[in-house]
Chain A
Amino acid sequence: MYDVIERRMIVPNLHELTVRAPEVAESIRPGQFVIVRPDELGERIPLSVADWDRQAGTVTSIFMQVGGSTARLARLKPGEFIPTYAGPLGKPTLIDNFGTVLCVGGCYGIGSIYPIARALKKARNRVYAFLEARAAYLLYWEEKLAETSDGVFVVTRDGTKGRKGHIDRMPAMMEEAGITPNLVIVNGCTFLLMRTSELTKPLGWKTTVSMNPIMIDGTGMCGVCRLSVSGKMKFACVDGPDFDGHEIDWPEFLARRKSYNLEEIDPLRRSSAATHF
């Protein structure tokens, strides 16, 4: 059992979950994830890690409430327990001196890109953060990211903060700022990962995306997290989660990502009345 230290909604529908797991806290590195089970009957779901405190032995994730399991996580209170918190899993994001690195984050990925930006800064890169959200009220951790980077760019769909628009504005904004990244790292929803990769490909900007498929064991056994990279079958849990965004079969990945959409929301139904999709 793992103690829940903190669980709060930081912006609508996105929750910050801090759990005491000293061994995970000691070993975790940027870009890795944990497998969490919300309760004894619950499914195993992967959560990207957004921060940790080795001294306190705690690990923090930002997650979005989408289905039954995340709804249960979203109801946790400090002082409660969760039965499974296993990790770290996946290969850490490669940290090196690349020169200039653009860290793109959206949704839960604003959280998980933070330790990556921090490590890259420490490795003496010029680090820029690029955050995407639907509106200003959905942004978080801008100050934390400002501290670990040389500049923060923001786009919002409705223009309530930063530039109005979505990730498609990014190349023009970089040009305007005179930034040509040697590497782009993207964390967030599948659409953001795919769209950023599509935008950077013609520009020849090397792009690493943190893939977020469905997983069960997360330890290289079940094979559900497979995807096609450069036409080869890869497994996100042990070969990734980071892959070259220009080499991924995105339509296939999107279809696989959606395969349990109906089941995901099934536990949220409050009556047996027909639901509309």
Chain B
Amino acid sequence: MAEEKPAKRILDVKRRPMPKQDHLERIKNFDEVALGYPIETAVEEASRCLDCKNPLCQQGCPVGIDIPGFIRHIVGREFAAGIRKIKQTNALPAICGRVCPQEEQCEKMCVVGKKGDPLAIGRLERFLADWEAASGKLEMPEKASKTGKKVAIVGAGPAGVTVANDLLILGHDVTIFEALHECGGVLVYGIPEFRLPKAIVQREVDYVQRLGARIRMDFIVGTTKTVDRLLEEYDALFAGAGAGLPWFMDIPGENLNGVYSANEYLTRVNLMKGYRFPEYGTPVKRRSRVAVVGGGNVAMDSARTAIRLGADEVHLVYRRSRTELPARAEEAENAEEEGVIFNLLTLPVRLIGDETGWLKEMECLEMTLGEPDDSGRRKPIPIEGSNFRMPVDAVVIAIGNSPNPLLPMTTPGLEVNRKGGIVTDPATARTSKARVWAGGDVVRGAATVISAMGDGRIAAASIHQYLTGQT
């Protein structure tokens, strides 16, 4: 009967804006830029959800979160139930809510987005995670009874922590081996404090420890103990060793002083707190004219870090146009707001130093766009004779990295591909070596936090099947 149908709602097409630190203020600190939705804003934003019968957004999520489910709880102000719903499938909501490229995933599929702004799913996920942390009432999930099986996890990054979470809930015994002196992997050494506060990463690591994970720091699997040695003690091993050596452009001058990989630049600042030198022991150079090469999120993070370190001018040098920038639109906007100058369609060809080995100039070529290449993006073509020089005293190269080489180098029988990534079966995350699974950047090179978590989820399911004799 027609009367029983809910009244057709007027589509609320306007996304509620995210409160942010003012750009003139935030360039002077490393505090988080996006402040999070207040409760009322979250409820309003959540109320824009159409609660589709066939939620496409969920298909867009690499870990398959029940999105309409948790949104419904926000609308009903049942926040505890909402966060419980998310945690059924996502161990790191406070992190994913902040750093997932939702516009490429869940939000891209959102039906509201066809008529207006898609629902701010990521912001709502973050809202629930922050609400739970602020409430101080952290709920622990039910754990299955102990299976007596032991799993070693290499790397306490997003992939490893996800595997740990899933396997602990299933009753297995988990030990995480972390090479660095802090847990979190790229979440602590790569992503800056102003985008992902380290206290939040610590909160999530504490959570898996409360679930029962043992963590061994300063333990480099491969050299401190080999994979084969660990397999004598453990029933299965997950390799989530993360990213490896940075890529350079293979142009003259890349070893000049003043030239950094983004990994080095960001590690000095984020993991080692170089911006607080000499209180912290690791120095970072405060340069006045910085160019960051690349167009991804890591390039944006580097450029925005350079601004906060007090550079007079920060340039982002990218060889294609604005349309092809791989970074999240939100991050590119933040960078521009903070004063980063975008030099698009520009390709560095040579770095020039002074007589003491310090960088002083960068020679570039102007580019134009040709036909789409294999990646589907229009191919940048150099304009002959367009060479020009930019005076710079620091260049940060943020064009990607290979998978970490240490594990394959020290593990016989672990097959790697041409790019150095561990080869896995995508359906199970199994490697060529018996009882070894792998996922995240050690497989993919430089990918996203959520794809690492997705790999972790698949690996955990497959490890569980193996341990319980289902395969």
Contacts and interface: CB of A to CB of B under 8 A. Distances in A.
B406 A86 contact: no
A248 B281 CA distance: 30
Most buried by A among B181, B244, B356: B181
A42 B223 contact: no
B469 interface: no
Contacts of B256: 255
B218 A85 contact: yes
A180 interface: no
A3 B344 CA distance: 53
A219 B406 CA distance: 7
A37 interface: yes
Interface string B169-190: 0000000000111000000010
Contact of B267 (A88, A221, A263): A221
B255 A27 contact: no
Nearest to A232: B250
Contacts of B278: 68, 263, 266-267
Nearest to A91: B409
A48 to B, nearest CB: 15
B224 A222 contact: no
A219 B245 contact: no
A87 interface: yes
B224 A235 contact: no
B282 interface: yes
Nearest to A34: B218
B60 interface: no
Interface string A22-44: 01100100001000011101111
Contacts, number: 126
Nearest to A90: B223
Interface in A87-143: 87-89
B261 A223 contact: yes
Contact of A88 (B179, B224, B283, B357): B224
Contacts of A191: none
Contacts of B283: 43, 260, 263-264, 266
A264 to B, nearest CB: 8
Interface in B254-272: 254-257, 260-261, 263-264, 267-268, 272
A8 interface: no
Contacts of A17: none
Interface in B218-277: 218-220, 223-225, 242-246, 248, 254-257, 260-261, 263-264, 267-268, 272-273, 277
A251 interface: yes
B405 interface: yes
B281 A233 contact: no
Contact of B218 (A84, A238, A252): A84
Interface residues of A, number: 46
B102 interface: no
Contacts of B302: none
A255 B357 contact: yes
B246 A69 contact: no
A217 interface: yes
A217 B261 contact: no
A57 interface: no
A216 B268 contact: yes
B404 interface: yes
B279 interface: yes
Given A41-B273, A83-B181, A256-B255, A219 B280 contact: no
A230 interface: no
Nearest to A24: B224
Contact of B224 (A69, A84, A87, A255): A87
Given A24-B224, A27-B225, A233-B254, A220 B281 contact: no
B281 A69 contact: yes
A173 to B, nearest CB: 34
Interface string A241-256: 0000000010110011
A258 to B, nearest CB: 8
A166 interface: no
7 contacts: A68-B281, A88-B223, A222-B246, A223-B264, A227-B255, A249-B255, A266-B277
Interface of A: 23-24, 27, 32, 37-39, 41-44, 68-69, 72, 83-89, 216-217, 219-224, 226-228, 233, 235, 238, 249, 251-252, 255-256, 259-260, 263-264, 266-267
